[in-house]
Amino acid sequence: MEELILKLKQEIIEALNLEDVKPEDIDENASLFGDGLGLDSIDALELIVLMEKNYGIKLSDPNQGKEIFKSVAVMADYISKNRTK
Amino acid sequence: MKHFVVLNDKSVMVDGVPMQLENQGMAMLNDVYRSKIGDYPKFFKMDALCKVGFVASELLLKAETDGEISQRKAHGTSSRAVLLFNRSGSLNADTKYQATIQEADNFFPSPAIFVYTLPNIVTGEIAIRNLYYGETNFIVLDCMDLHTIAEQIANAFQDSETESMLTGWVDCYDENHFEARMLIINRNEDILNELNKIKQ
């Protein structure tokens, strides 16, 4: 799981152009939106694309994102249980 | 004093004075952002055209207000318009977005790129940043024809609300080929004469 969390942090930084942010700067238990990384709605859409492109996970219900994108740790857990690639 | 900014992928000049820069292209713009602006993380999410327009506008407005942000914000309201021109439209972002949907078996449209597939996103970014509620418009032309640009600016001043206009040429072919020529024109100024200051 540690390996997946690190990989996910790197993918998020790259996909969302989080310049000047390093993987170690991201607390895997901190909120991705709001006070955490301060991501916005476009970032949420980009995360949905990332999940499908890199892990073969298609979120059919956008409301699922609210739960799955709570933190990097929650995302990693969901990916490990649902990934198809 | 009338302030103006002229920048391209190799140099940046404010009021005709070149800035000392180590890099070129987007790396140069990122350096300028970090050293002269630095309080708008959304900058790094912008496409290249927006970065060019944003950096040029920031340098121009800092010159206009002697670097005082609070003073700059006071220039907000509906009396200032943002009217920009270029030749390439949003071609750079369009091309990047097309690449995300080009192959049927690798079809992952990027929302973050898609939002920049219109050139007038630049004028919106500048208006949002500076609380300008006046007209914003981005016009694509065949070339930097100052007479046509002056005519469009004059037309925009027909609006009785507009007292000043952040305007100029902001073009970006790709991350290594871009330029901006930007200034502020006030109502009743000789528009063509003012535009000639950013021509050289």
The stretch B127-147 carries a mean pLDDT of 95
Compute the CA torsion angle B158, B159, B164, B165 (nearest 10 deg). Answer: -80
Answering whether pTM is above 0.95, one says no
Give, for B191, the enclosing helix (H) or strand (E): helix B191-195
CB pairs under 8 A between A and B: 28
> Per-residue b/e over B95-127, b at no fewer than 16 CB within 10 Å?
ebbeebeeeeeeeeebbbbbbbbbbbbbbebbb
Identify whether the C-beta of residue B9 lies closer than 8 Å to the C-beta of residue B23.
Answer: no
Taking only the tens place, the pLDDT of each residue in B5-41 is: 999 999 999 999 999 999 999 999 999 999 999 888 8
- pLDDT tens for residues B111-131? 999 999 999 999 999 999 999
pLDDT of residue A26: 92
User: What's the total number of domains in chain B?
Assistant: 1
* Structural domain for B11, as ranges: 4-199
> Average pLDDT for residues B159-187, to the nearest whole number?
96
Instruction: Enumerate the residues of chain B whose CB falls inside 8 A of the CB of residue A46.
Output: 110-112
CA B90 to the chain's CA centroid:
12
Two tokens, residue B168: 């100029």
Q: pLDDT grade, residue A35 (50/70/90)?
A: confident
B108 Cβ under 8 Å from any chain A Cβ? yes
Residue A78's φ and ψ, nearest 5 degrees, are: -65, -45
Between A18, A20, A46, which is nearest B110 by CB?
A: A46
Provide the percentage of residues in chain B whose pLDDT is more than 70.
Answer: 94
Residue among B110, B113, B115 with most chain A CBs within 10 A, to mutate: B110
| Chain B residues whose beta carbon lies within 8 Å of the beta carbon of residue A15 | 112
Q: Please, which pLDDT band fits residue B76 given cuts at 50, 70 and 90?
A: low
> In chain A, what residues touch B108 (CB-CB under 8 Å)?
49, 52-53
Looking up residue B10, the CATH number of its domain turns out to be 3.40.47.10
